[in-house]
Structure 1
Amino acid sequence: MDLMKEKLLEWNFPQLVETFEEQGFDDESFPLLTEDSAKEIIPKLGIRLRFMKFHRAEFGMASAVTFEGDIFNLSEFDSVSTTSSRSLLSNATVTCVPETPSPIAASPSSLSPLSSQSISCESVSFTNMRSPSQSADTASTGSEHLLMFDVRQILDKDPHGLKLVKRIDKCKFLSKADKKTLVHILCAHLVTQYGNRPSYFVKEEMAREIIQAFPFLKDPQGITGYESFYCRGATRVPACGALEDRLCYLRRLNNMATTPFMTQPKKRPRHGDSSPMQSAAKQVCLSTAIDEPTVMIQWMKSNTCKDDSSKVKEFMEKTAMYRHQWIKEKGKQRSMADILDKFPRLLEPGMIEQDFKILYPDAEEKLYEKWNDMSEKLLTYIQKVVPTWKTHMQDEDFVLEDLTSEQRQNCAIYTLPTLFTGRRKFKGGRVSYSEAAAAFVDFQCENTGLDQYLKDINRDTRSQPYMLILGGSALAPQQVFVIFERHAFQQSSLVKALDVCFKTHFVFDLSYQEKCSGVWEFIESVVFELKGSVKSNTIREFRAYCSSHDSSD
């Protein structure tokens, strides 16, 4: 019963394993299950519908096939393996005509696996059994009829798609240009068959078949694996993905003459909503006076003696929970200036890292643990995705193979704004590579006056925090600083500056700068592995690339 258990676990129905075993099902009888039999075994309708969806997709819907009057019942396939019989049925397109004329066509659920029932067929062709060219009436029946698109066949019919398939099979990689071609061809097929507003079920099936045709595109950390192509919407959360974006664009072109396409700007959620401290924070009411933290905070504000550094560190550690609750107090918008006014000791070295460690103990050292290997993947990936990536760097004249380990790690940091750019909240859309890089790291010459530089920062045009490099080259900077609230904090290396700059966002509960938001979302989800929804398709594509190459290695 390995096949039966394997499929039930794969379809996420572990509770049904014992039920099927009690009913005497095995690997031979499991594929023969019909909807009538399933009603007795799975009484709950919702679970049964989801189960039958996977069962039909895996084992097909017909139980007996007649070729020119000769009946081949499933009972005659005893000597044939289950996989072989399933392959035969899944590859057959059968046009069925009832032996007794009737205005009602036989539905898949009315077919029985018993050998006494048979269906006469006028014609049989060995193409995909569930063709995407079926009528819109069939698609409108919802999840009761599982669509199946032959993505490779659709692409092969287009001259550009034919070249695309050969290129993808050879390189096992999907570039931005190739993904655009892929999505355009498949969306054109959807619009032809179902109009420019196909149901979510149709779009999900198309996205699922894309990663079935090209498994290396599957996001290993995604729920479905195909979120890069389509992710179903929910209440107040619109659908997203490359297929949905293309269909929205086609609808906008179609409606532009009558109804202008407008999107309402959405307020970015504040960081830390999924913080591991959130549940504990809810249990503490800030209106209740807590004498001990209040006394410690007042002592740290009043006492400026540097000899008490160990005591300051101790008090900052004990008040970290209170500070986190105060910053995220419901209904309050704490600015960085307000936070530093109440907790000025956060400006001392190591205090931001200590607060982050208390909030996220498992993620404290993630960057240092992973960046050496991650930098190599980024450098390999960007050469395939953006061949002209060196033109976006301050130093173009270098040979990647000649760089030291530290220089390669620094180089990988500079690739982030090129790979994961941000988007403007309102008009303008995606920002350019240069805008993203300038918002991420600022390069200044060695003789720049730091005090005057900090005074000249315009908070309206220069979002903080960010990294500042004074002197040296991009690959070997002379001085590295983290800038926030017009304060400069010198760091020992560029990797250290990246770590502190990221943790500052979470400790102060800051939103990412929109121009380089993609970079920080990448650091958050891929490097630090903090829980949260990934909205960027470029991040999902990079995770799929890493997963496919790790498995091939």
Structure 2
Amino acid sequence: MKEYEDTGSLCDSSRRQMVNILAAHMTETEGRIPQRLTKEKYALGVITLFPYLKDPFSKKGYEHFYDGQSGTGFIAWRLKTIQRKTKLRPLSSSSPKADGGPTVARNISQDQLQDEACEEAISLMTHTNDRETIFQKMQETFQYRQRLIHNPATSAKVLSVFPRLLDTKGLVLQDFSLLVGSETSARLLERWPSFKPKLIKEGAALVQTPLLQGLLLSAREEQVEPSADDLQGWDSDMSTLLLLLHILSPQAAGRKRSHKISASQAIDNLVVFHKSCQSLDEHLNEDERRQPYLLASGTSKRAINNFYIAMDKKLIPCQGNTSLAAFDELFKVHFVFSLSYDESLCSFFTFLQTTVYNIDVGTTKESPKVKELRAKLMNNV
């Protein structure tokens, strides 16, 4: 209680301790499988006693502690741990399928070319260098392109059919705006100044490592000693994004937790620095990543000349010349090409999708950590 009164929040260890106490009390009074209503009452009690822990985007506000519909949340996780330790076979449960995220097919109301007119537009784009014409024809063929993308038999050839995506900056941004609207498209860049200091504050509360300390210094734009092979050289915005990745560290996949990687390892799935004097083709030939990532090419991490989105051993040039604008395009590529998030970055991207861009709120599956962080930030803690 004193920690909450002093800070308006609970650190991870205090939250875990509270959940452990609640779970122990439930199992003591109702046995190893407490009733759903009991778990919901306890979760409601938490946000009633600690109102700043309430998630403003959730229907009831306490789903990150217990979500009766999906059977997830901090309380549910603790109870499942207790059940496993009893050596009894747990009851199986099925979670409702999430219907939100980058792979959802969406419709637009724009006038679109059909059949022969569409084929003519595609041919024209291939043979013209007029930027205005390319953007117009890409807009008019958007629906056809989306059909290719959402068809497993044709999705791999989209960049071959529309090669201007590989040499014309800004086309990804246009497609994303057609998908979700220009207002939604602008939200990260508009809201970043208010989110950034809160993320730095959360990053400072983590258990500090040399990497985290360097990221915090860079995020705060404080003096950092030059280093040849670490991440301390990134600019303030990129360092803050990497802090967010540590705050929402990768979750293990499956019960055996054999695929869990650290946040520092997951960084390579998000952004890679490439010295401008080295060959981009060699980098792509050696690259084995399956999901898109940001490739920053320059003389140093603070002197980036060009940003690219690397995908399927190809490079899509970013229109943005800052790390934040380039990252904005990386996020949007997932929606434009209907690509799922990298497993190690799922919580990271989902938080930005629902909390910052406000896309598919309520229909996207979110981890309790995502909901907890949102509750902290949105309640001005």
TM-score, structure 2 normalization: 0.84
* Residue number in structure 2 paired with 1:141: none
SS of structure 2 residue aligned to 1:549: coil
C-alpha deviation, 1:437, in angstroms: 1.3
* Residue number in structure 1 paired with 2:204: 383
**Is 1:201 the equivalent of 2:30?**
no
**Is 1:536 the equivalent of 2:364?**
no
Hey, what's the Cα distance between the residues in 2 that align with 1:241 and 1:303? Answer: 50
1:507 corresponds to which of 311, 319, 336: 336
Change (3 A) 1:360 1:395: closer
SS of structure 2 residue aligned to 1:196: coil
1:455-508 deviation per Cα after TM superposition (whole angstroms, max 9, x unaligned): 1112xxx12210122345545545432211222234311112111111110011
The answer to whether the 8 A contact 2:238-2:323 is kept is: yes
Change (3 A) 1:546 1:291: closer
1:318 corresponds to which of 125, 130, 140: 140
Which amino acid letter does the alignment assign opposite residue 328 of structure 2?
D
* Residue number in structure 2 paired with 1:448: 278
Which amino acid letter does the alignment assign opposite residue 169 of structure 2?
P
Percent identity over the alignment is 25
* Residue number in structure 2 paired with 1:342: 161
Please show how residues 517-536 of structure 1 align to structure 2 within 5 Å: 517-531=346-360, 532-536=363-367
TM-score, structure 1 normalization: 0.59
Please show how residues 106-121 of structure 1 align to structure 2 within 5 Å: none
SS of structure 1 residue aligned to 2:85: helix
Which amino acid letter does the alignment assign opposite residue 408 of structure 1?
S
C-alpha deviation, 1:408, in angstroms: 2.9
* Residue number in structure 2 paired with 1:402: 222
Which amino acid letter does the alignment assign opposite residue 364 of structure 2?
S
The answer to whether the 8 A contact 2:215-2:239 is kept is: no
Please show how residues 145-156 of structure 1 align to structure 2 within 5 Å: none
After superposing the two structures, state which structure 1 stretch, 393-402 or 371-380, moved more.
393-402
C-alpha deviation, 1:273, in angstroms: 6.4
Which structure 2 residue ranges, 5 or more long, are not aligned? 224-233
* Residue number in structure 1 paired with 2:377: 546
SS of structure 2 residue aligned to 1:428: coil
Change (3 A) 1:311 1:500: same
* Residue number in structure 2 paired with 1:104: none
SS of structure 2 residue aligned to 1:402: coil
Higher relative contact order (CA closer than 8 Å, sequence separation 6+): 2
Hey, what's the Cα distance between the residues in 1 that align with 2:94 and 2:343? Answer: 16
Change (3 A) 1:425 1:387: closer
The answer to whether the 8 A contact 1:470-1:477 is kept is: yes
1:297-318 deviation per Cα after TM superposition (whole angstroms, max 9, x unaligned): 4442465334333222111111
SS of structure 2 residue aligned to 1:467: strand
Which amino acid letter does the alignment assign opposite residue 377 of structure 2?
C
Which structure 1 residue ranges, 5 or more long, are not aligned? 1-164, 282-289
The answer to whether the 8 A contact 1:394-1:474 is kept is: no
SS of structure 2 residue aligned to 1:489: strand
Hey, what's the Cα distance between the residues in 2 that align with 1:448 and 1:262? Answer: 52
* Residue number in structure 1 paired with 2:240: 412
SS of structure 1 residue aligned to 2:129: helix
Which amino acid letter does the alignment assign opposite residue 358 of structure 2?
E
Which amino acid letter does the alignment assign opposite residue 14 of structure 2?
D
After superposing the two structures, state which structure 1 stretch, 344-353 or 333-342, moved more.
333-342
Hey, what's the Cα distance between the residues in 2 that align with 1:200 and 1:261? Answer: 14
Hey, what's the Cα distance between the residues in 2 that align with 1:308 and 1:192? Answer: 72
The answer to whether the 8 A contact 2:118-2:141 is kept is: yes
Which amino acid letter does the alignment assign opposite residue 540 of structure 1?
K
Hey, what's the Cα distance between the residues in 1 that align with 2:328 and 2:294? Answer: 11
C-alpha deviation, 1:407, in angstroms: 3.8
Hey, what's the Cα distance between the residues in 1 that align with 2:243 and 2:365? Answer: 20
SS of structure 1 residue aligned to 2:26: helix
The answer to whether the 8 A contact 1:375-1:408 is kept is: no
2:291 corresponds to which of 464, 476, 485: 464
SS of structure 1 residue aligned to 2:86: helix
* Residue number in structure 1 paired with 2:80: 248
Aligned length: 364
C-alpha deviation, 1:428, in angstroms: 2.4
1:374-399 deviation per Cα after TM superposition (whole angstroms, max 9, x unaligned): 11111112112x14165247767658
SS of structure 2 residue aligned to 1:240: coil
Change (3 A) 1:305 1:535: same
C-alpha RMSD of the superposition? 3.3
The answer to whether the 8 A contact 1:270-1:510 is kept is: no
Which amino acid letter does the alignment assign opposite residue 533 of structure 1?
T
Please show how residues 57-456 of structure 1 align to structure 2 within 5 Å: 165-233=1-69, 238-255=70-87, 259=89, 271-272=101-102, 277=107, 292=114, 294-301=116-123, 304-328=126-150, 332-333=151-152, 336-347=155-166, 348-361=168-181, 362-384=183-205, 386-388=206-208, 391-392=211-212, 400=220, 402=222, 407-426=235-254, 427-428=257-258, 430-456=260-286
The answer to whether the 8 A contact 2:200-2:243 is kept is: yes
